[in-house]
Amino acid sequence: MAKKSTDPTVLNATTARQVPMRDFSRSLPMSLLRAREAVMRQFRPNLREHGLTEQQWRILRALAAIEAAEVTELARTAFLLGPSLSRILRDLEARNLIERETAKTDQRRSMVSISKEGVKLMASVAPSSEAIYAEITQRFGARKLAELQEMLGELEQSLAGLGGGEGASSEE
């Protein structure tokens, strides 16, 4: 007969199910992660075909929307941590997809912008990316997709003042 542990940190299956929390699969973070994974599973093969990671694509997309960004602002915009962003920027710069220059107002800071080669690469990825968006829209429904994006924006806004903000922390 197995001896029952007296260590309060050891939980058996019955005790674990009695924790007064919603089911793991129904937690909001897990639901969002599952949905994100389902969406990114559609885009990853296309990015790989063009020699890009998700994070590199995020940086290029962010830079394409603006003229230039300071590195810390880019990290916030693309939800990447500083050390990861440094490595990604180094890789993108080596491929001539971005350009860096010292900020005019502060020589310790650098500004990053997308290069002509980066814009060309984005233009080659765009048609298949838009086709993937069209397929997602067709499967899920244009109205539902618009509502989902609206609700996600509202959720983000409603939680903005709650604190616990560690800033950019999504490494995927």
With respect to residue 34, please indicate whether it lies within any of the assigned structural domains. Answer: yes
Could you report the per-residue pLDDT of 85-111, keeping only the tens digit for each? 999 999 999 999 999 998 777 778 889
Residues, the chain: 172
With respect to residue 105, please indicate whether it lies within any of the assigned structural domains. Answer: yes
**What pTM was computed for the model?**
0.78
Q: What is the CATH number of the domain that holds 70?
A: 1.10.10.10
Write out the residue range of the structural domain in which residue 125 sits: 27-149
Could you report the per-residue pLDDT of 13-39, keeping only the tens digit for each? 555 567 888 888 789 999 999 999 999
Query: How many structural domains is the chain composed of?
Result: 1
Q: What percent of the chain has pLDDT over 70?
A: 85
